[in-house]
Amino acid sequence: MLLIVVVLTFLLLQSASGDAVDAYLLSMGGGDAAIAQSLRQSYGLDQSEIARLWLYLSSLARLDLGWSVAFGRPVADLILERLPNTLLLMGSATALAFGLGTSLGIVAGARPESTTDKVVSALSLILYAIPSFWLGLVLSIVFAVQLRWLPSSGIETIASGKSGFARAADIALHLILPVGALGVIYMALFLRVMRSAMAEVWKLDFVAFARAKGLSRSRIVLRHVARNALLPLVTMLGLQSAAMLGGSVVIESIFAIPGFGRLAQEAVTGRDTPLLIGIILTSALLVVLVNLLLDLVYALLDPRVGAAEEGA
């Protein structure tokens, strides 16, 4: 599976117009054919495609992600450098989207078709339909430029000399806007899934039974309906983690956060095949990891899952 990812990405960049040396010469402001030739030789770009793919795969088998032409550094270093920022941004945004999405979903789903439900659903739909870059720009103008409550960009105050708790607080402050922009969009999806899942659960027999027992409405909502409706949400979380990693490209660019999204963009513009494969591979691994974790969570939430894994 991961091999398919690697080979496809490799072939994609091979079919590109312009290679890493073209991009590199451009960043140098020019050069001539002789320089280009010697650069291509030193990076092995003059060999055939199959030879290079083989070379790359065999080094990958030794867990070596290769060398980035555009950055002149090992790919693994670059990825490790950016990974914490990405994890932080993704983790917080997911937590926000999931937390807010489920709670609002519960609020909306508690009384299906009520006014609260309609207002919450409509608002979430609007948030979902706003392009992420526009939301990001507007948030930054309002909260960073006009109100000056929050920093406009970056992951932390530059060379602040802060450490420990002060540094953590500083990073948290910088993350509020990007996490907000990214989280709010995906929140809408979670909210809507939660709400419709709850609507399904309301129809089930055991809810009617709980009602008949005379349990209070809020108790039914939280203990019975919401809990059971959470299951499809957990499944969706796994699927959305890949989408969110993609969505971060735009947000990272607007808020100048050095994470995977921006690195990937630079890898593409620099035609840096090993780097792009490294990023996509790492993202894919992350997604797989998240899904494994979620399977565990799923098993905890729903004791029925375990022995018989669904094929689909």
Partner 1 sequence: MTLLRQTIGTGEGAIGAAILSLLILIAVFASVLCPGDPLNIAGPPLTPPFTQGSLPLGTDSLGRDLLAGVVHGTRTSLSVGLAAAAAAMAFGVCIGLAAGFSGGIVDEALMRLVDAFQIVPGFLLALAFVSVAGSSAHVIVIAIALGAWAGPARLMRAQVLSIREREYVAAARVIGAGPAEIVFKEILPNALPPVLSLSAIIVAAAILTESALSFLGLSDPNVVTWGSMMSEGRNVLRSATWLSIFPGLALLTTVIGIYLLGEGVTKAIGRGRPGS
Partner 2 sequence: MRMNLLSRRRLLQSGSALLAMVAMPALPRAKEKASGGRLIVAADSEPKNLNPAIVASNGVFFIASKVIEPLAEAAFNGEGGLARRLATSWEGSEDGLSVTFKLREGVKWHDGRAFTSADVAYSAMNVWKPLQNLGRIVFANLEAVDTPDANTAVFRFSRPTPLQLIRNALPVVSSVIPKHVFDGTDIASNPANTKLIGTGPFRFAEYKPGEFYRLTRNEDYWGKGEPKLDEIIFRVLPDRAGAASALEAEEIHLAAFSAVPLSDLDRISKVPGIEVISKGYEALTYQLVVEINHRRKELADLKVRQAIAHAINKKFVIDTIFLGHATASTGPVPKSASEFYDPDVTTYPFDTAKANALLDEAGYAKGSNGVRFSLKLRPAPYFNETKQFGYYLRQALAAIGIDATLVNADAAAHQKAVYTDHDFDLAVGPPVFRGDPAISTTILVQSGIPAGVPFSNQGGYENKALDALVAKASETIDAEARTEIYRQFQKIVTADLPLINVAEWGFITVARNTVLNVADNPRWAVSNWADTALRS
What pairing do the DSSP bridges indicate for beta strands 73-74 and 67-68? antiparallel
Task: Using alpha carbons, select from 12, 58, 20 the residue that is nearest to residue 39.
Answer: 20
Distance CA 263, CA 252 (A): 10
Smallest distance, partner 1 to C-beta of residue 12, A: 6
Element (H, E) at 195: helix 164-202
CA 134 remoteness from chain centre: 18
Q: Where are the alpha helices (DSSP H) in 43-163?
A: 49-61, 75-110, 115-129, 132-139
Query: Length of the chain, please?
Result: 312
Smallest distance, partner 2 to C-beta of residue 240, A: 25
According to the binding rule CB under 8 A, does residue 45 interact with partner 1?
A: no
Nearby residues of 284 by Cβ (< 8 Å), 6 or more positions away: 2, 5
Residues 257-286 that bind partner 2 (CB under 8 A): 257-259, 262-263, 268-271
Please choose which of partner 1, partner 2, none residue 30 contacts, taking the beta carbon within 5 to 8 angstroms, the exact cut-off set by kind: partner 2
Number of CB atoms found within 10 A of residue 147's CB: 9
Q: Which is nearer to partner 2, 157 or 235 (CB)?
A: 157
Residues 288-307, one symbol each (x = binds partner 1 by CB under 8 A, - = not), give x-------------------
Distance CA 111, CA 102 (A): 15
Residues 103-132 that bind partner 1 (CB under 8 A): 125-126, 128-132
Q: Which is nearer to partner 2, 255 or 298 (CB)?
A: 255
According to the binding rule CB under 8 A, does residue 16 interact with partner 2?
A: yes
Cα 116–Cα 123–Cα 98 angle in degrees, nearest 5: 90
How many residues sit in the footprint of partner 2 (CB under 8 A)? 51
Question: Do the beta carbons of residue 6 and residue 58 sit within 8 Å?
Answer: no
SS3 74: strand
Please choose which of partner 1, partner 2, none residue 82 contacts, taking the beta carbon within 5 to 8 angstroms, the exact cut-off set by kind: partner 2
Task: Using alpha carbons, select from 49, 26, 66, 54 the residue that is nearest to residue 272.
Answer: 66
SS3 73: strand
Q: Which is nearer to partner 2, 161 or 214 (CB)?
A: 161
Smallest distance, partner 2 to C-beta of residue 300, A: 38
Smallest distance, partner 1 to C-beta of residue 311, A: 7
Residues 186-225 that bind partner 2 (CB under 8 A): none
Question: Footprint of partner 1 on this chain (CB under 8 A)?
Answer: 1-2, 4-5, 8-9, 12-13, 15-17, 125-126, 128-134, 137-138, 141, 239, 242-247, 249-250, 253, 261, 264-265, 268-269, 276, 279-280, 283-284, 287-288, 311-312
Question: Footprint of partner 2 on this chain (CB under 8 A)?
Answer: 16-19, 22-33, 35-36, 70-72, 78, 81-82, 137, 140-141, 144-145, 148, 151-155, 157-159, 161, 253-254, 256-259, 262-263, 268-271
